[in-house]
A and B are shown apart, each in its own frame.
Chain A
Amino acid sequence: MEKILVGLKRVVDYNVRVRVRSDGSGVETDGVKMSINPFDEIALEEALRIKERGEAGEVIVISIGSSDVRQQLRTGLAMGADRAILVETDAQTDPLTSARILLEIIKREDPGLVLLGKQAIDNDHNQTGQMLAALWGRPQATFASELVLDGDQATVTREVDIGLESIEIDLPAVVTTDLRLNEPRYVKLPDIMKAKKKPLDQIPLADLDIEASAALNETAFAPPEERQKGIIVDDVAGLVAALQDKGLL
């Protein structure tokens, strides 16, 4: 295939212990480390491996977000993507809007495969890929742990609650990644330099003709209920006694 399109979302790094602002207005993101959504890094790694096997010509990374997102797109270019597209907006887009934007870019680029993460670890929506596939009228293979291309078809192994499911899909299609699809490569210093010369297109969201959607209104944020700190027992006898105390044995 000629092109693979990969979604990269900028999110709070997964190692950060996220806290709700004391006034409940949202989650504290000031001065917090930001990274590529881990599932999207896996999506990009998979696209690069497909290209390296000679099964694709070009890997394009796309992000929807503020100009800060250029940093993550540059990282994607340093990993090996050929070019990047930033659809620029300061507002967080809702999943349906993100899917509509991605569809608009698909119309322009005509990729043979779209690789997204199964979920963005900020909002944990887990919907954009499925929505994009629906709007595009194409197959979706979510939670992929193995992807084998074969001409204009692909066989995908999906991680489902009861085990591993295989499906066959016609291309083009949307595939969303699970953690075990691959292990993303590290970026090397010379590649960071090279990435500076790769093209990064910035398209203001207003330049795309995207239908407005009725977003869900997020009205309040609260920390989760804390669990009470428990007891430490000295030995197995103590543990058994404590369990019996609670009627669990």
Chain B
Amino acid sequence: MTRILLIAEHDGTSVNPSTAKCVTCASEIPDAEIHVAVLAKDGASLAGEVAGLTSVDKVIQVDNPANSYPVAAILAPQIVAIADGYSHIFGPSTTFGKDLMPRVAALLGVNQISDIMSVLGSHSFRRPIYAGNAIVTVEAPAGLPVVATVRIASYASAAGGGSASIEAASVDADIPGHTRFIELRSGKSDRPDLQTAAKVVSGGRALGSAENFDLIYKLADALGAGVGASRAAVDAGYVPNEMQVGQTGKIIAPELYIAIGISGAIQHLTGIKDAGTIVAINKDGEAPIFEIADIGLVGDLFKIVPELEAAVGAASGRE
């Protein structure tokens, strides 16, 4: 029987959208019963949130003061303790899941399937390799648990309206004290979240300074968009690391992606291949970004972007 255990991602107060995307991936596996584990300090309201996702059959709430912040070495043994009887154990391919799931896989003595982008059968999946330059079909061995992470840009969120049962589990696991969470520094912003925004505007090295990056923020605000950046822009200190889009940053799939002063290195393109419409603004007509852009505009961003911002403002004002 196919029973899938999903590991929910959350920040203690709300469930990360990656969880609803994992549910969609799991629901593509034929005849599967889907359970979601919420490991938290006090997971009652989080569990309630997850129980409302359609296709979820049961929520397993594992409360423990040690779970107030997600530390892989602390969560993994608890997941292994409840893993019995599950044919599949999935988590999101976010930094949370990437950190945690291989630790779970190793404790269960199996390899992990990283970044599932499509489900071909209960033990057959497709995933990207070489920064998305190749797609490989992998078959997991029968009779062993399938541990995997789900490439969340490949899946829509599961809808609400479900009403799964919630079960509190008391877990008997050895929780190590060798890894201690200290703090999280996060640039709080009111802009739409980069990973789930419908529109994203990104800036590259061409912006030249943190101050100039204001041009990108203003355009994003006019569009109601999230903001991203190339690695070069992050490395140069124009923006914080969590804004990096690409192979080693965030893989995103907005309806509209606008790349400004970004050359289009393969490592960047990997992060945006699933976008609906890609717009490129670059002064070099030969820049590789134009090879995948749906709409290209060749010219100086310092002239174009303020004009575009004004035009967008006017266009939305007319509506």
In contact, A214 and B106 (Cβ under 8 angstroms): no
- Bound: A180/B239 CA distance, A: 13
Residues of A within 8 A of B138 (CB): 216-219
In contact, B131 and A121 (Cβ under 8 angstroms): yes
In contact, A180 and B235 (Cβ under 8 angstroms): yes
In contact, A223 and B134 (Cβ under 8 angstroms): yes
A169: contacting residue among B96, B179, B292, CB under 8 A: B179
Overall SS of chain B's interface: mixed
Q: A126-B98, A161-B250 are in contact. Are A232 and B297 (CB under 8 A)?
A: yes
Q: A27-B129, A248-B277 are in contact. Are A99 and B250 (CB under 8 A)?
A: no
Residue of A122, A128, A224, A240 with highest tally of chain B CB at under 10 A:
A224
In contact, B255 and A244 (Cβ under 8 angstroms): no
- Bound: A227/B179 CA distance, A: 44
Number of A residues with CB within 8 Å of any CB on chain B = 86
Residues of B within 8 A of A18 (CB): 130-131, 133-134
Q: How many A-B residue pairs have CB under 8 A?
A: 257
A139 at the interface (CB under 8 A from B): yes
- Bound: A223/B104 CA distance, A: 31
- Bound: A196/B103 CA distance, A: 37
Q: A94-B111, A223-B134, A237-B311 are in contact. Are A178 and B248 (CB under 8 A)?
A: yes
Residues of A within 8 A of B129 (CB): 27, 122-124
Taking CB as reference atom, which chain A residue is nearest B114? Answer: A125
A224: contacting residue among B240, B273, B279, CB under 8 A: B273
Taking CB as reference atom, which chain B residue is nearest A214? Answer: B141
Q: A167-B179, A236-B311 are in contact. Are A131 and B106 (CB under 8 A)?
A: yes
Taking CB as reference atom, which chain B residue is nearest A244? Answer: B315
A63 at the interface (CB under 8 A from B): no
Residues of A within 8 A of B290 (CB): 232
Q: A240-B308, A242-B295 are in contact. Are A217 and B139 (CB under 8 A)?
A: yes
In the A-B complex, the 9 residue pairs with the smallest Cβ-Cβ separation, listed nearest first, are A163-B186, A127-B102, A130-B102, A131-B106, A230-B294, A134-B106, A214-B141, A166-B182, A220-B137
| A contact residues vs B (CB 8 Å cutoff) | 12, 14, 17-20, 27, 94-96, 99, 118-119, 121-135, 137-143, 145, 155, 158-170, 173, 178-180, 213-224, 227-240, 242-244, 246, 248-249
A161-B94, A163-B186, A223-B135 given. 15 additional CB < 8 A pairs? A27-B130, A27-B133, A96-B110, A121-B131, A130-B99, A140-B99, A163-B184, A166-B184, A168-B180, A179-B235, A215-B111, A216-B140, A220-B136, A224-B135, A248-B255
| B contact residues vs A (CB 8 Å cutoff) | 11, 71-73, 76, 94-96, 98-107, 109-115, 124, 128-141, 144, 176, 178-187, 195, 199, 231, 234-235, 240-242, 247-248, 250, 255-256, 266-267, 273, 277-279, 285, 290-299, 304, 307-308, 311-312, 315-316
